[in-house]
Amino acid sequence: MNDSRDQRPGVLQIFKSVGAAFFGVQSETNRQRDFTHGKLHHYVLAGLVATVVFVLVLWGIVQLVLTLAGVK
């Protein structure tokens, strides 16, 4: 039988796995799928993209708060 765990993870599943890893809540089933069928460079690239987006969002929030506080 062709189980969803036996297929290569798609882009959305890769980003879900990276997001779960950010918070430390990755399920054992998904972790096994990632290590068995995933490619390392996909996860590294997704992790870098997610990190850049995270930093930019934090920077934007800080800029907004500073502007609303009248500091900037």
- Over its length of 72 residues, how does the chain's per-residue pLDDT go in tens digits? 455 556 889 999 999 999 999 889 989 998 899 999 999 999 999 999 999 999 999 999 999 999 999 987
- pTM of the entire structure? 0.78
Burial of 1 (0-12, 13-18, 19+ CB in 10 A): exposed
Q: What is the DSSP letter of 40?
A: H
For the chain, what are the domain ranges? 4-68
